[in-house]
Chains A and B, each alone.
Chain A
Amino acid sequence: MSAGGDHIVSPKIYVTIWLILLAFTGITVAAAYQNFGIFNPIIALTIACTKATLVILFFMHVKYSPKMIALVIGCGLFFLSILMVLTCADYLSRAWIM
Chain B
Amino acid sequence: MSDSQTTTLQAHHHHDPSLLVQFDTAYQQKDASQFGMWVFLITEIMFFGGLFGAYLIYRNLYNPAFVAASTSIAIKWGAINTAVLICSSLTMAMGVHSAALGARKLLVFWLGATLLLGSVFLGIKGIEYYDKYTEHHIPGANFDFNYDRAEKGEKLVPADVATQTSIFFALYFAMTGMHALHMIIGAGILVFLIWRAYHGAYPPHHYTMVENFGLYWHFVDIIWIFLFPLLYLVSRSPVH
| Bind each other | yes
Chain A residues in the interface with B (C-beta under 8 A):
1-6, 8-9, 11, 14-15, 17-18, 21-22, 25, 28-29, 32-35, 40-41, 44-45, 47-48, 51-52, 55-56, 58-60, 65-66, 68-69, 72-73, 75-77, 79-80, 83-84, 87-88, 91-92
Q: B86, A80: Cβ atoms under 8 Å?
A: no
B89 touches A11 (CB 8 A): no
A46, B45: Cα distance in complex, Å: 18
B116 CB-CB contact with A under 8 Å: no
Chain B residues with Cβ below 8 Å from A32 are 75, 229, 232-233, 235-237
Closest-CB distance, B219 to chain A (whole angstroms)? 8
Complex Cα gap A64–B221 (Å): 20
- Closest beta carbon of chain A to B82's beta carbon, Å: 5
> A residues within 8 A CB of B229?
28, 32, 41, 44-45, 47-48
- When C-beta atoms are compared, the residue in chain B nearest to A28 turns out to be B229
* CB of B133 within 8 Å of the partner chain: no
* Residues of A contacting B234 in the complex (Cβ-Cβ under 8 angstroms): 41
Chain B minimum-CB-distance residue to A20: B86
Q: Collect the chain B residues with CB atoms within 8 Å of residue A66's CB.
A: 31
Give the residues in chain B near A28, CB-CB below 8 Å.
Answer: 228-229, 233
Chain A residues near B41 (CB-CB < 8 A): 76
15 further A-B contacts with Cβ under 8 Å, apart from A28-B233, A79-B46, are A14-B90, A14-B94, A17-B90, A28-B228, A32-B235, A48-B226, A55-B222, A59-B89, A65-B34, A69-B34, A73-B38, A76-B45, A80-B46, A84-B49, A84-B53
Known: A28-B233, A51-B225, A60-B218. A3 touches B27 (CB 8 A): yes
* Residue from A35, A76, A87 in contact with B57 in the complex, judged by beta carbons closer than 8 Å: A87
Q: Tell whether, in the assembled complex, residue B92 and residue A59 are in contact, meaning their CB atoms are under 8 Å apart.
A: yes
State the Cβ distance, B223 to closest chain A Cβ, in Å. Answer: 9
**Quick check: A18 and B222 within 8 Å, CB to CB?**
no
Contact A56 B60 (CB under 8 A): no
Contact B218–A72 (Cβ < 8 Å):
no
A–B complex contacts, Cβ < 8 Å, 21 sampled = A1-B35, A6-B100, A15-B90, A18-B90, A25-B228, A29-B233, A32-B75, A32-B232, A35-B238, A48-B229, A51-B225, A56-B222, A59-B218, A68-B31, A76-B45, A76-B46, A77-B45, A83-B46, A83-B53, A84-B49, A88-B57
